[in-house]
Amino acid sequence: MKPSLPQGTRDFSHEVVYKRQYILQTIRQIFERYGFQPLETPAMENIDTLMGKYGEEGDKLIFKILNNGLDNPNKEQKTREALEEVFQGKWSKQLTERALRYDLTIPFARFVAMNHGSLVFPFKRYQIQPVWRADRPQRGRYREFYQCDCDVVGSSSLINEVELIHIYDQAFTSLQIPVSIQINNRKILAGLAEICGGQEQLTDITIAIDKLDKIGLEKVKEELTQRGLDQAQIEVIEQYLNIKGSNNEQLTQIEQLLSESKQAMLGVTELRYLLDFAKDSVKSVQLDFTLARGLNYYTGTIFEIKASTVKMGSIGGGGRYDDLTGLFGVKDVPGVGISFGIDRIYDVMEELNLFEGKLSQGTEVLFFNLGSYEIQGAYPVIQKLRQAGIRTELYHEPVKFDKQFKFAEKKGIPYIAIIGSEEITDNKITIKHLPSGWQEQMDSTNIDHIVQALHTQREDK
């Protein structure tokens, strides 16, 4: 058979894995520095846990796992009936009881709901795992991709938002990606909706204005009309969208425009607190009232990260949610969280050439294989180098030097080592640096000296 991958999935070669690990390790370290602890949840969840949490579209994009034993003749009648239900648009547990996780937030909420009795609140967890979506793959979109989340639950304090802003800032500073951290508050959007026809318009309004930078003001107004808003309401929204200036200027303007809404004013107060707190330490925080974010469970602060110098969708996002675990019967567990879009961060860094010199490398030294007697002499040296932390490989069979050199060249191994019969008698080792041509015979018992030679910077020829 011809081997192939399922649509929208990828193999990662060693170069890519090194780079991805570099990103993940950088972020993980920062999470831990702020007191977040890791959590892992299963790839699959009970289907009830996931269904209905991501909207109608989301349900369609969940990968469902077929039950085993459907071919059992004793259950044939039931199975056929269940299949009929599928044509009615319903998924029966008779056919599927499990599904692949669609994001990390709902499984986390499930975990908190199950364990809230034994957790210490506020509970701070980070989670880095793949998720699966039956979406149609396209540029920057896959059916299997990683999410990298950190959330605090059990605290309404805005200091959590402050911490998350600093995590974002440190992560992207550390990765050397220039970004703007865009920030808004759902209460302001809710206030806008309140003034323009009521809460039930909130979703319609947010979906439309979120598209501002993509489709422009005129198209947004068209969409608002289509969604049933009248002229006066659209006018207010237009004023809202036209707010510009520094963070402080924008806050002043929004206060005037939405002064009627208590909710909006609360949002302004929260934003002012955050911006004030961050204004000296984090330069890249940018107020953006058009930021809406799709997920409906957000209730307060919302974040989104955009790379400033690369054209790419958002590379991170998050926000506050007041009642996530309510879905699982546990009330009053407010939370706030952020997420890093690893796959897109990778693309941005690749484009900006930010990986150079930062990666854990492959093999540092290749021992030539000159025959079984010579290998036995060389092997103790190989093991000592490995104990000393040198990434060391031995060529797998005694073939002519030409081949062994070319192997080292192709794998990008900088040093080769030769221990032949002469060297064995004299306790010597010949080390050669391929890029420069530097070569020296040294004492094979003096491991420190060898390690030192391997760590010396050398100019290429």
Residues within the interface to RNA (CB under 7 A): 4-8, 55, 57, 103, 133, 135-143, 145, 147, 207, 211, 215, 293-295, 313-317, 339, 341, 343-344, 370, 374, 400-403, 405-406, 408-410, 418, 420-423, 430, 432, 434-435, 437, 439, 461
Peptide bond into 122 cis (omega under 30): yes
Is 201 annotated to bind a ligand? Reply is no
Angstrom distance (rounded) from CA 313 to CA 319: 17
Is 147 annotated to bind a ligand? Reply is yes
CB 265, min distance to RNA, A: 27
Between 261 and 444, whose beta carbon lies closer to RNA? 444
CB 429, min distance to RNA, A: 9
Q: Burial letters for 149-180: b for 16+ Cβ neighbours within 10 Å, e otherwise?
A: bbbbbbbeebebbbbbbbbbbbbbeebebebb
Angstrom distance (rounded) from CA 398 to CA 414: 20
Is 332 annotated to bind a ligand? Reply is no
Q: How far is CA 92 from CA 19, 54, 247, in A?
A: 42, 19, 51
Angstrom distance (rounded) from CA 169 to CA 113: 31
Is 151 annotated to bind a ligand? Reply is yes
Is 54 annotated to bind a ligand? Reply is no
Name the burial class of residue 298, with classes exposed (0-12), middle (13-18) and buried (19+) by CB atoms within 10 angstroms of its CB: buried
Between 197 and 420, whose beta carbon lies closer to RNA? 420
Is 28 annotated to bind a ligand? Reply is no
Between 18 and 405, whose beta carbon lies closer to RNA? 405
Region class of 198: left (phi > 0), else alpha (psi between -120 and 50), else beta: left
CB 256, min distance to RNA, A: 30
Is 373 annotated to bind a ligand? Reply is no
Strand ranges (E), 101-167: 123-132, 144-153
Between 19 and 293, whose beta carbon lies closer to RNA? 293
Name the burial class of residue 345, with classes exposed (0-12), middle (13-18) and buried (19+) by CB atoms within 10 angstroms of its CB: buried
Between 254 and 365, whose beta carbon lies closer to RNA? 365
Between 122 and 317, whose beta carbon lies closer to RNA? 317
Q: Which of 58, 38, 57, 36 is nearest to 49 (CA)?
A: 58
CB 437, min distance to RNA, A: 5
Between 235 and 440, whose beta carbon lies closer to RNA? 440
Is 301 annotated to bind a ligand? Reply is no
Region class of 387: left (phi > 0), else alpha (psi between -120 and 50), else beta: alpha
CB 458, min distance to RNA, A: 11
Please report where in the chains the tokens 């950088």 appear, as a residue.
Answer: 26
CB 430, min distance to RNA, A: 5
Is 276 annotated to bind a ligand? Reply is no
Angstrom distance (rounded) from CA 20 to CA 222: 42
CB 370, min distance to RNA, A: 6
Q: How far is CA 279 from CA 173, 220, 248, in A?
A: 16, 32, 11
Binding-site members for L-histidine are 103-105, 133, 147, 151, 293, 297-298
